[in-house]
A and B are shown apart, each in its own frame.
Chain A
């Protein structure tokens, strides 16, 4: 029998055919390749969180190869001379080894920490984007709830993570955590002794936090993130209003290749930035803090930034103790309110918000178009209120450092925080509301009268007026066209946004060639301009 010639060129097609024979993937795959994604810079904030999470998994796995989650007392004899001979826990000693005796261990540790900070920051900023643009409305309430939970699960991941090295700072954090658990009425002391395996600190907490930090919490995060992304995929992304964009369609790019390329490139950029931070900027230098000893602490003991708001609320809380004079007497300590009740309220409010808003507005329709923050002043103002509340708390979490650096009395800082917490949010609400209305009004003015040109004209009677460039065709009698409707999208407010001052010749140092002309290849059909999809926002196209 003659041997068949091997045809390399036919191999991909043949393999693809074989795969499709078995799994019938050609149609679903095409649907996936073709799926349209709307594009806007603000849609990439959640991606930063996702990419940081991937970096966290990669660097975290590396760290587990060298970390020893045990509180067994050892004497340090690694290469960091200042601590040699110090008794410490195995966890702290192995964290020092990662920093000094594992080649490249320090950059991995620092990248892990920076990625965690970025993860939480991206979650918060992404959440603000979703909130202020109304992307959480029906049908996306579930994803909003999952997102809110992701913040708190990430918070737990961060807390269990920075407790692991068992250094002076993290031990202090653990002690505060045990105090917080103790403050829960009725069951507090039982919960605390069950978690710590007896009295604080016990000898088991690091091992328990370790398994929570490397298995349970990441597992939960992976599950929540998968559902989060799955829902984005299934429900399709929201989009900004614009020409041709309706509540029933998605206008954007097909996922492959351009959109996917941009995502992949962006991942690499996030990864690169984390690597730069991990190498160039020191974070959590545990060797300066020493091992945890219950009697040692220093000023400026601050947690990671996303915990600082709870630290701040704890500092601002007045010493209000509730005593219950039954039997030997019972107490609800002041620590309970800012650290257990407040987060509880925050979780409840944030997860319920989509339903509260829908109920108040009696709005139960599907919404796939985003809203500009200015168009929903009440929601934007509520959001600004929440942000003001959060910022006051976060700054109060560092009020001792601020007091020290700016030579302010510490007590004055605490009082400023207490008053600020009550006064600033309502002010933020009021001012944000007014700013939104002002921006709305200006949009309507431009639509009615046109863009300010900066050209001052003197009229025959001596008055000076500024010439406005109308956005529509002028209909003669007063230099104005018909007033345009606002369509929920950016109104051009400067002449260069109308193209008047755009660069005439492209190129940075020297002009590059004239713009490409279509069609450029036989594959691309000749296409002609279609007027109604050209202009954004003004409702009627310019000529």
Chain B
């Protein structure tokens, strides 16, 4: 190990004449460092030039770089000639992306480790000390700068001519508002347009005369016989685009309860004044969780519980879909249903409670 001794410390040294032909390049580097308040206190080559160790390290670095070249070439070959288009089954195309990743990764790691080895093993180790100079400016400097800025205010004369300041503010404030207005004005949308937060696709059309049918995902209407006892079906309003995300608040779960569960449910309905919401042993509840709006879609037949997979709120279907566990605070709204003269399910009316996540003005 080699370090400077004290008498060689740059602080005590005469400034170097960099034009002197006898000084080495390292001397000049040290002189530059000295001018930047840096003292190179330890400078130790890691390998002896021409030694076996040096040759070994050089070979290591070189092989990393050559590995990169190989891997990158392999990447290009795979990129161009490997079958890449998706085909059913376990074809070679499934290996396309992994092979690209492998070759690209190896190529990049090759450069990385090559450079790291070069820097860490072949370059001299050094310890340098630099002054931080992070002490605050002297009080005098601070004062001068402060006074300069205050003098700027004097020159502007705002204090002597207060009208300028006031009128400038009075002029600028509306300009700021002008900048914000198009953004806010353009984006803002009344959430209560068409009463949209309180209505769904099941709202009867034609001023309440036409009741909306319950339909399946494929658009077909549903007869009671289509849902077996204990079964359930996701239903949508039978309107144009009723299955699409345009009616994201309307998906409903139609459940055919078993006889004893249906009795419980009917009794529970009655306590809430929803005595006529069921049809036979069928109930329909909104599928949109009242917590955060995920579809509460995991129905456990044995316990009549409905679980929302997002935050695990659980609703008891036979008790008006009351939340019995988890973060939801409100029962799932129930859709009053009946069967029309053609024998298909229809919604008697829209939901009588608000669908989906709670919000401030929800009554």
Residues of A within 8 A of B (CB): 30-31, 34-36, 73, 79-81, 100-101, 103-104, 106-107, 110-111, 139, 171-172, 175-176, 178-180, 182-190, 192-195, 197-201, 235-236, 244, 247-254, 257-258, 261-262, 264-273, 275-280, 292-301, 311, 314-321, 328-335, 338, 366, 368, 399-400, 410-411, 414, 512-513, 516-530, 533-534
Contact = CB atoms under 8 A, between A and B. Distances in A.
A153 to B, nearest CB: 20
Contact of B108 (A195, A272, A521): A272
B41 to A, nearest CB: 7
Contacts of B130: 34-36, 236, 249-250
Contact of A179 (B1, B123, B190, B291): B291
B191 A190 contact: yes
A330 B104 CA distance: 57
7 contacts: A79-B85, A103-B84, A192-B191, A198-B193, A292-B245, A366-B135, A527-B4
Contact of A529 (B3, B32, B111, B120): B3
Contact of B294 (A175, A193, A258, A368): A175
B45 interface: yes
* Best-buried of A197, A235, A247, A299 by chain B (most CB within 10 Å): A299
B188 A182 contact: no
Contacts of B48: 513, 516-517, 520
A270 B108 CA distance: 9
B132 interface: yes
Interface stretch (B170-178, B272-280, B319-327): B319-327
B302 interface: no
Given A193-B191, A249-B132, A298-B309, A527 B326 contact: no
Interface stretch (B157-165, B220-228, B344-352, B353-361): B353-361
A158 to B, nearest CB: 18
Interface residues of B, number: 116
A399 B187 CA distance: 38
B5 A527 contact: yes
A265 B119 contact: yes
Contacts of A528: 2-5
A275 B361 CA distance: 49
Contact of B325 (A73, A101, A298, A411): A411
Nearest to A185: B360
B52 A512 contact: yes
B24 A523 contact: yes
Given A36-B128, A175-B292, A198-B189, A368 B251 contact: no
Given A252-B127, A272-B109, A368-B132, A335 B33 contact: no
Given A30-B36, A189-B191, 17 more contacts: A179-B293, A183-B357, A193-B189, A247-B132, A251-B128, A254-B38, A268-B108, A269-B116, A279-B99, A280-B98, A294-B245, A311-B311, A315-B312, A338-B327, A516-B53, A521-B49, A525-B27
Given A179-B356, A182-B359, A294-B288, A172 B196 contact: no
A295 B97 contact: no
B101 interface: yes
B249 interface: yes
B116 A250 contact: no
B156 interface: no
B113 interface: yes
B292 A314 contact: yes
A252 B2 contact: no
